[in-house]
Structure 1
Amino acid sequence: MKQILAPVLSALLLTATALPALAAEALSATEFESYVKGKTLYFGKAGQAYGVEEYLNNRRVRWSFLDGKCKDGYWYEEAGQICFVYEDTPDPQCWSFFKEGEGLRAVFQNDPSSTVLYEAQQDDEPMMCLGPEIGV
C-alpha cells in the first residue's frame, strides 16, 4: 500500500507546488495597452454576449452593451488594475485583465465575485454607435 501511495502523493505534491507558477498574472498597463490599442473587442459573460469596447488613441475608449448606445471614456492604471471612467459614470470601474489562450479574461475588481468577462471576438473595425436620441 505504501508503495502505491508514495508515487500518488509525490505527484500531488509536485502538482500543488507547480500551481502558483502556473497562476496567471494580471496584465500591466503597458501590456494591456499593447494588446488593445486600435482594436475593438467583443466580450461575453457566462456564454452570452455582454458588450463591446473600442480602444482608441491616448487611452480613450468607447463602450456599448451591444444596443447601439455608446459612451465615451478613458482608462488608466491604478494599483495594478485597469480603471475606466465613462462620461455618464464618474466613479472608476477597475478590472484585472489576464491573457488566456487567444484572448482576455477580465475580472471586475469593484466586485470580483459578480463579473468575469471573456474576450469573444476581436475586430479592427470601429463599433456601431447610433446617433443621439432626439425627441419631440
Structure 2
Amino acid sequence: MMRLTLTAIALGLSATALAAMDGPMSGAEFDAYSQGKTFYYGADGEAYGVEEYMSDRKVRWSFLDGDCKEGHWYEEAGGLICFVYDDTPGDPQCWSFYQGPRGLVARFENNPQSTELYEVENSTDPMMCKGPEVGV
C-alpha cells in the first residue's frame, strides 16, 4: 500500500511543482505541521526514510532499516531547517520544506541537486527502532 501511494506521489509531484508552491515553510510552520508526528518519506518513486518529530525540536531518523539516529532541528537564517544528529554533531543537514498539495516536500540544500523527498504518509504512532547493539 505504501509503495502504491509513493509511486502516485512521485508521478504527481515533480521538482517543477515546487515552483508553483508557496515559499519554504518557516521554523514555526514546520514545527506546527510536524510536531508529534512520524513522517514516511519517498524519493524518486522509492521508499527513503522515516522521521519522528517530538517536542523541543527533537527528532529520530531511520533509513527504514530499524537503525535510528537521535537528533534535533533548528531554523537557520534564510528559512532553512537544519538537522543535527548525535552521531554527527558537526555536520548539519539543511533542508527547505514546502507545503505541497499532497503533504511536505523537502529539498536538501547542502546539495540541492541530490535529494528531494516527498511525504508519503504521516502518523502519530512512534517509530520502530532496534534495541542497542550488545557485544560480548
Shift of 1:24: 2.5
In 2: Cα distance, 1:116 partner to 1:22 partner: 16
What percentage of residue pairs aligned between the two structures are identical? 61
- Contiguous gaps of at least 5 residues in structure 1: 1-20
In 2: Cα distance, 1:39 partner to 1:124 partner: 5
What is the count of residue pairs matched by the alignment? Answer: 116
Equivalence for 1:106 = 106
Aligned-residue Cα RMSD (Å) equals 1.2
Asked if 1:81 corresponds to 2:80, the answer is yes
CA deviation string 1:73-106 (max 9, x = no partner) = 0000001100000011121100000000131000
- Contiguous gaps of at least 5 residues in structure 2: 1-18
TM-score (normalised: structure 2) = 0.82
In 2: Cα distance, 1:53 partner to 1:28 partner: 19
- Higher RCO (C-alpha 8 Å, min separation 6): 2
CA deviation string 1:100-134 (max 9, x = no partner) = 01310000000000000000111110010010111
In 2: Cα distance, 1:41 partner to 1:22 partner: 23
Asked if 1:63 corresponds to 2:87, the answer is no
Amino acid at match of 2:125: E
Q: Is the alpha carbon distance of 1:48 and 1:22 closer, same or farther for their aligned partners in structure 2, counting shifts above 3 Å?
A: closer
Deviation >2 Å, runs of 4+: 21-24
TM-score (normalised: structure 1) = 0.82
Amino acid at match of 1:84: F
Amino acid at match of 1:39: K
Q: Is the alpha carbon distance of 1:111 and 1:67 closer, same or farther for their aligned partners in structure 2, counting shifts above 3 Å?
A: same
SS at match of 2:106: strand
In 2: Cα distance, 1:23 partner to 1:130 partner: 37
Quick check: which has more Rg, 1 or 2? 1
